[in-house]
Amino acid sequence: MDDDQYWLKRLNPILNYVQAGHLLELGCAYGYFLKRATNSFNVYGLDISKFALEQAKRNCPEAKLEVWDINTSLPFRDEEFDVIASFDTLEHVANINFCVKEISRVLRKNGLLVLQIPIKNVIMNLLGFLDSDKTHVSVMPEEQICNLLYRNSLPLILRKSLWSFSPSLDVWSSNSVLRHVFPHVYYICRKNGQVN
């Protein structure tokens, strides 16, 4: 959905930490986020869908785009990016452990990983129909996601709960009560120099 409010809500927190550099989006789809990010960053996008990238090229002609399966090694040098973003993509990756390790490899020290991902919580366990997408192969509890990030030198510096009710209505909160209700989170992680 090509909605300014939706995408700027995801971009603006990044700009509090980094205002320029190289930004990679994993699972960039039609390039709506990249289009907003071009004012600040040199943008790159990977997606498994050739059709999606054809649309992304129209929406964001400045972007360097490539068809790629992020279950495999990323086609970039070590520490190439200042920011890596992934919105509702990593839950589709069969080997999320390998993918996060690759993200850490191509992210510069002090670079940011921006991640929006569904989490498995009490509500999801009780009401499985909340996530009926059969392509969600790596939905896990939040503690497990945080541990995976931490082990790959990507500790959290920002966390927001998120539930999208419609393309134009999002609810964001830092409130700890909501993390037990809403099944999506938005993280910003800063890469440190040590692998844990």
For residue 125, the SS3 value is helix
pLDDT given at position 55: 97
Contacts of 66 (CB under 8 A, 6+ apart): 44, 45, 46, 53, 75
pLDDT given at position 137: 54
Residue with tokens 């909160």: 173
pLDDT given at position 68: 97
pLDDT given at position 182: 43
In our burial notation (b when 16+ CB lie closer than 10 A, e otherwise), range 80-101 reads bbbbbbbbbbbbbbeebeebbb
Q: With contact defined as beta carbons under 8 Å apart, do 172 and 9 qualify?
A: yes
Sign for the CA dihedral angle at 177, 181, 186, 189 comes to positive
Contacts of 72 (CB under 8 A, 6+ apart): none
- The pTM assigned to this predicted structure is 0.84
* Domains, the chain, with CATH or none: 4-190 (3.40.50.150)
pLDDT given at position 128: 53
What residue ranges of the chain have pLDDT lower than 70? 92, 120-138, 163-182, 193-196
pLDDT given at position 177: 39
pLDDT given at position 142: 86
Q: With contact defined as beta carbons under 8 Å apart, do 138 and 91 qualify?
A: yes
pLDDT given at position 89: 87
pLDDT given at position 75: 97
Distance CA 120, CA 30 (A): 27
